[in-house]
Amino acid sequence: MSRRVVWIVGLVAVVGLGVYVWTVGLAQQPQPAVRGEADVEFSRPDGVGLKLDLALPNEGSGPFPAVVCLHGGGWVGGDRKQMGQTIEVLARRGYVGVAPDYRLAPAHPWPACVEDCKAAVRWLRASAGRYRINPDRIAAVGLSAGGHLACLLGVTGPADGLEGTAGDLDRPSKVQAVVSFAGPTDLTAEALWTDEVLKRNLVPLFGGPPRSKPDDYRKASPAHYRPRTPPPFLLVHGSADRVVPPGQAQALAERLREAGGVARVLLLEGEGHTWGGANLTRSIDQMLTFLDEALKK
């Protein structure tokens, strides 16, 4: 299997298995009722209608914390439907789960993808009353390229020029917690520049190789930001990941700690860009505990 295939679909398999683990655990308990809405338009940048799917608890008055779930796909593939079971499971745990689409390269190069993710967060705040959302308790969770985008949501603000021009611009895009599964954090690192990743992912995203667009690659790198008040981060990574080097998670964690933030790296020994078995159970449990601590206490 090529690295490109791993990048685009590998963590989809992790999510599927993760949902299985969650579902097995939940099956031993009474199942809370949830309801969902699909194909809700949340932004229209340059005339492109972007939609999201949403799942929320059917019982309780709220307000509930919310989690934006960002799919993987190397910035060139994937869609929100990959996260459908994930948002349902989160809803059963007392969250409003949202899975948005974002524009993909090469048709929509950088920074369209992060602009759309920020628009999804702003939409949640604008829709807080309708969906019983606590606008001060929103997290971003992402897988691979989605993890990269979740990290950007955690370290950037309006002054960084990534808000875009569409979608509830009167609301902030700040998130209160971030979870990244195998997300790249420094796109300027040469260890990431394999021939396959450059050809299939990075060049389509930026419209050129790193040395022709150094400013864009740097601006797209979460590890190069110094946020004043970063939210807590959980960075889950396989120690043997040959697609996104595990040092990328460590680099971002160090930068966040230097800024006074809290960042935990869960390094799964011997695992690559995907994982299963006991490490899958461990990583899912750690994520749920982290979200509960960050958003429910």
Please check whether residue 232 is in contact with residue 294, taking contact to mean a CB–CB distance below 8 angstroms: yes
Distance CA(177)–CA(253), nearest Å, equals 14
Spatial neighbors of 105 by CB under 8 A, at least 6 apart, are 75, 76, 112, 113, 204, 205, 206
Q: Is 180 left (phi over 0), alpha (psi -120 to 50) or beta?
A: beta
The residue from 127, 144, 173, 221 that is catalytic is 144
Q: Is 195 a catalytic residue?
A: no
Please check whether residue 244 is in contact with residue 8, taking contact to mean a CB–CB distance below 8 angstroms: no
Distance CA(264)–CA(51), nearest Å, equals 32
Q: Is 241 a catalytic residue?
A: yes
Distance CA(186)–CA(181), nearest Å, equals 15
Q: Give yes or no for a cis peptide into 63 (omega within 30° of 0).
A: yes
β pairing state of 50-57 and 34-43:
antiparallel
Chain center to CA of 144: 8
φ/ψ of 271, rounded to 5, equals: -90, 150
Please check whether residue 197 is in contact with residue 228, taking contact to mean a CB–CB distance below 8 angstroms: no
Please check whether residue 100 is in contact with residue 68, taking contact to mean a CB–CB distance below 8 angstroms: yes
Q: Is 273 a catalytic residue?
A: yes
Which residue blocks in the chain are alpha helix, DSSP H? 3-27, 84-92, 112-126, 128-131, 145-155, 195-197, 203-206, 214-219, 247-258, 277-295
Active site residue ranges = 144, 241, 273
